Amino acid sequence: MNIVRLREKPDLKQAAANWFHEKWGIPLEAYLESMDECLAGYAPVPQWYIVMQQERIIAGLGVIENDFHDRKDLAPNVCAVYVEEDWRCRGIAGEMLDFVCRDMEALGISTLYLVTDHTSFYERYGWEFLCMVQGDGEPDMTRMYIHRHLIS
């Protein structure tokens, strides 16, 4: 298992965009546009990460400005966290989240946010419930979490 920063492996962009599109149903073009912005390297956000097991993508996540909610001030957001079913319960999500928090800290970003319907999952990885937010076009509120790192 190998966590890959897309910015270091741009040849994986199309495969990664296809994989995230299949998992979340967000238009492929939106992933490609965000990944192109990541690869341009002008800013620390957006960033994209995938976990490879040999040639197969088994997990991934991104860091974007806003994950489709009304609290634009709570940025950037970890998004699209997904682990393939046959790879779950092996600590991969926790490893990815830790890796991304450390990587973003190295890029100068010490606070990350995340929206989710999960309760108690992210707390085991150092995330704290912050507040409820309104998802774009969603009737129900959803949970917003925060993760803070102290930049050394």
The predicted model scores a pTM of 0.94
**Are the CB atoms for 48 and 60 separated by under 8 Å?**
yes
2-109 belongs to CATH 3.90.1150.10: no
Enter the tokens of residue 23.
Answer: 């998992």
The predicted-structure confidence for 104-127, as pLDDT tens digits, reads as follows 999 999 999 999 998 889 999 999
Which portions of the chain are predicted below pLDDT 70? Answer: 150-152
Enter the tokens of residue 55.
Answer: 């040639």
Q: Which residue has the tokens 């995230």?
A: 20
pLDDT of the residue at 119: 86
Domain coordinates in residue numbering, the chain: 2-109
pLDDT of the residue at 43: 94
Q: Following CA atoms 60, 118, 21, 83 in sequence, which dihedral angle do they give, to the nearest 10 degrees?
A: 30
**Are the CB atoms for 94 and 127 separated by under 8 Å?**
no
SS3 content of the chain, % helix, strand, coil (to 5): 35, 35, 30
pLDDT of the residue at 150: 63
